Amino acid sequence: MGRREQLGQRLSSLEQHLRQENPVLEKVVKSFRDLDRISHRMGFLLPDQSYALRTPWWPLISVLGTYSSGKSTFLNTYLGHDLQSTGNQAVDDKFTVICYTGHDQVRVLPGMALDSDPRFPLYRIGGAIEEVAPGEGQHVDAYVQLKTCPSPKLRGKILIDSPGFDADAQRTSTLRITDRIVDLSDLVLVFFDARHPESGSMRDTLTHLVQDTLRRKDANKFLFILNQIDMTAAEDNPEEVFAAWQRALAQSGMTAGRTYSVYDPHAAAPIEDESLRKRFSRKAEEGLGAIYERMEQVQVERAYRIVGMLEESANHLEETVVPAISRFQQSWRRRVFLVEGGLIGLLLALFLGLTLWGGYWDGMKLQLGIPGWLTTPPWLYGVLGIAALLLGWGHFSVRSRAARSVAEKLAAKVSDRERQNYLSAFMKNSNWWRSLFRNRPVGWGRRSREGLNRVRQDVKRYIQELNDSFAHPSGQSGEKETASTEEKPEENA
């Protein structure tokens, strides 16, 4: 089975799952297929790639932070299962993807279960690991694992628990996975340990997870949580611990995201002072309630995010990819003309020099003295044929070398994730049959522009359908409101 057929099966499987989960999103897959066809014609998407598979279709919540910050305890309490190991030191060095199961028991599945299934986040994560750590891509089980849990809280969503950040330099592959998870997530919970708010681990986390959010459009999906705040109850001014932590976040440049101070009441240290205990308990309940509410909201946010990604992908193709391919064509053409012009000039200069040195010029007349047998048709045609072959070989060699050189330079300016896609599109636009004088990229024209406009119109329709599912301005139920809306044209008529 070819790669295109495999891709079609994956998308069909996705549509089948979405048919019951969210019919609106099932329609979105069709629009992604339309967008894929345009991009495949242009050579940008590889045969087994789809825009629909670049993000998980189920809501994703990632839990990141420092080691011993109580991430695993938080997850176990939220799920109502002792799923993750807990401890004061780093107890798990793998990224754990947690999803719902209808079975009664928890199961741990190897990393290949994620690497090979496009329905889950971290699909093909082995390739990303291989890029930054050659030879490690085949050891994906050492980096990620899948756990299934029967907790009802997991219905319709996926959680990812990350290994804790420590004060040592992190492996590049681990940071690459972290970046990918953050990009895919609808909600990011970043935990800090209230017992060590100024440790080296906090500074590492601030650098990688706080400062990097400044450039993000979705910075509001980050929740920064100072956990185990009950351990500071013995301090004379526990609020100052929280205030100092907030100042550290602000000094790192954090301008978005919410901050909370919480602790797990089931694992809390005893607080002797009753008034202090009530104050801590109330603060923790407020924080946990807000966090849990936001976690439940991701299902709605994910639906809108996927529709937004459809429009963003269409715009990216037209506004970024097509201009980049056009720049490649211009640079490629310019380089070919310069090289071939230089070679022709060099050959003419060499010819002129040799004929002058050989005395073949009589004033302004060139007298080569070509042998008569060379002008007879068989020999003449042979010489012309060999000359044409040499010229053709030289021309296509120059084209090929120039294309590779220009493509490498331009592709070096794009993200690692899309570098192979740009190289594929660049090389398709410099195939031997492509005219140097054709300005329009392969696969790009009126039909493609119209296709992208249809995708954008689909986005507007999907947003309206999602709004109808979640918002009812008239105060009626969705069904009644739709019915009354449909009746109005008849009344006006």
Q: Is the dihedral of CA 485, 487, 491, 493 positive or negative?
A: positive
Identify the CA nearest to 293 among candidates 264, 258, 263, 266: 258
* Residue 422 CB partners (closer than 8 Å, separation 6+): 44, 321, 324, 325, 407, 410, 411, 414
Identify the CA nearest to 442 among candidates 420, 427, 453: 427
Strand 144-149 to 107-109 pairing: antiparallel
What is the spatial distance between Cα 92 and Cα 162, in angstroms, rounded to a whole number? 8
What is the spatial distance between Cα 390 and Cα 372, in angstroms, rounded to a whole number? 24
Are 59 and 18 a contacting pair, CB within 8 Å?
no
Please count the residues of the chain: 493
Identify the CA nearest to 174 among candidates 72, 94, 91: 94
Query: Residue 258's beta-bridge partner residues?
Result: 223
Are 136 and 129 a contacting pair, CB within 8 Å?
yes
Distance of CA 421 to the CA centre of its chain: 13
What is the spatial distance between Cα 251 and Cα 197, in angstroms, rounded to a whole number? 14
* Helical H segments across 43-105, by residue range: 71-79
Which domains occur in the chain, in start order?
A: 1-53+303-472 (no CATH), 58-269 (3.40.50.300)
Identify the CA nearest to 225 among candidates 164, 270, 282, 288: 288
Instruction: Tell me the pLDDT of the chain (493 aa) as tens digits.
Output: 677 888 888 888 888 878 877 788 889 999 999 999 999 999 999 988 999 988 778 888 999 887 777 888 889 889 988 887 765 444 567 888 898 888 888 888 888 888 777 667 777 777 767 766 677 667 778 888 889 999 999 888 889 998 866 544 445 667 777 887 888 888 999 888 877 655 454 555 556 666 666 667 777 888 988 887 777 666 656 677 777 777 777 776 665 568 888 887 766 667 767 777 787 788 888 889 999 999 988 888 888 889 999 999 999 999 999 999 999 988 988 888 888 888 888 888 887 887 778 777 777 776 766 666 556 667 666 766 777 787 778 888 888 888 888 888 888 888 877 889 999 999 899 888 888 888 889 999 999 999 999 999 999 999 999 898 877 665 555 554 444 444 444 333 2
- pLDDT score recorded for residue 1: 60
What is the spatial distance between Cα 163 and Cα 225, in angstroms, rounded to a whole number? 16
Starting at the edge strand found earlier in the chain, the sheet holding 95-100 runs 107-109, 144-149, 95-100, 158-161, 60-65, 187-193, 222-227, 258-261
Are 143 and 154 a contacting pair, CB within 8 Å?
no
For residue 122, the one-letter residue type is L
What is the spatial distance between Cα 225 and Cα 189, in angstroms, rounded to a whole number? 7
Strand 365-366 to 361-362 pairing: antiparallel
- pLDDT score recorded for residue 487: 43
Radius of gyration of the chain (CA): 31
Q: Which residues of 144-171 are buried (b: 16+ CB within 10 A; e: fewer)?
A: bbbbbbebebbeebbbbbbbbbbeeeee
- pLDDT score recorded for residue 459: 96
For residue 228, the one-letter residue type is Q
What is the spatial distance between Cα 395 and Cα 109, in angstroms, rounded to a whole number? 55
What is the spatial distance between Cα 41 and Cα 301, in angstroms, rounded to a whole number? 32
- pLDDT score recorded for residue 443: 93
What is the spatial distance between Cα 472 and Cα 246, in angstroms, rounded to a whole number? 38
Lookup: tokens for 80 = 């109502």
- pLDDT score recorded for residue 202: 52
What is the spatial distance between Cα 493 and Cα 490, in angstroms, rounded to a whole number? 5
What is the spatial distance between Cα 493 and Cα 481, in angstroms, rounded to a whole number? 19
What is the spatial distance between Cα 92 and Cα 75, in angstroms, rounded to a whole number? 14
What is the spatial distance between Cα 306 and Cα 382, in angstroms, rounded to a whole number? 63
Are 224 and 202 a contacting pair, CB within 8 Å?
no
